[in-house]
Amino acid sequence: MALVRLEVADGVGTVRLDRPPMNALSAALTADLRVAVQEATERRDIRAVVLYGGEKVFAAGADIKEMAGLDVAGIASWVRDLTGVFELIARIPKPVIAAVTGWALGGGLELALCADFRVFADNAKVGLPEITLGVIPGAGGTQRLPRLVGPARAKDLVFSGRQVRAAEAEAIGLADRVVPAGEVYAEALRLAGRYVAGPALALAAAKQAIDDGSELALSEALRLESALFVGLFGTEDRRLGMDSFIANGPGKADFVGR
């Protein structure tokens, strides 16, 4: 039985972790996650993606029992597979929303950090507790978190290993919105639905410009933005958008994703 399912409805693909009770990130789950993410990336009928662990827990972290038995070569391969899948998620050329319920610790929080937006349940508890095991986050926590909340706040969480509740997560910019626990998935779907009818190629270009541009010098980032902008003039959606604007005013175009 697959440990990750891809469910598709109304243009939104939900990548759902399904390894009770805590969705611990094992090698097998990582392999299934790769398959689901690749399919979500490639399918044209999927215009936005939601990462979801179910009503009770997002992902409580890596499978420590599995990790503890590995030697240096084994753990190097293990973490390479996990970080490779997380990079695929971060590179999905579509809006990605993490719907976080309950625990999102260690690798679970690192998974949520790969999303463009994070919706937290009001009972969510998140953190990077790796320091309490004598190691550090190894799947993006020391890199994606400071880019999101700033170096000092990231160091506080990484150095202490402490858990953060939803209200604090929202205050520091780790959560984009906090809703009652029973509404997390519905809110993530609602947010994803805002982009389903949008111009898919322009959304992908916008995501690439922001994500890749943040790693470049400003002059290089501006050249990237200009190149992506010019490239969109060859798309059908650009023609539809501008023709609709001229005929009917802004915000009324029916895009086709080409």
Residue 107 appears among annotated catalytic residues: yes
Residue 181 appears among annotated catalytic residues: no
Residue 168 appears among annotated catalytic residues: no
Closest by alpha carbon to 122, among 156, 59, 159, 169?
169
Q: Between the CA of residue 4 and those of 14, 16, 34, 147, 243, what are the distances in Å?
A: 10, 5, 9, 28, 42
Write out the two tokens for 188: 């993530």
Continuous segment of H or E residues that includes residue 6: strand 4-9
**Catalytic annotation, pick one of 110, 170, 187, 225:** 110
Neighbour order of strands in the sheet with 125-127: 103-105, 125-127, 163-165
**Catalytic annotation, pick one of 130, 170, 187, 225:** 130
**Catalytic annotation, pick one of 53, 54, 106, 107:** 107
Residue 62 appears among annotated catalytic residues: yes
CB atoms within 10 A of CB 83: 17
**Catalytic annotation, pick one of 62, 115, 169, 253:** 62
Hey, which residues are catalytic here? Answer: 62, 107, 110, 130
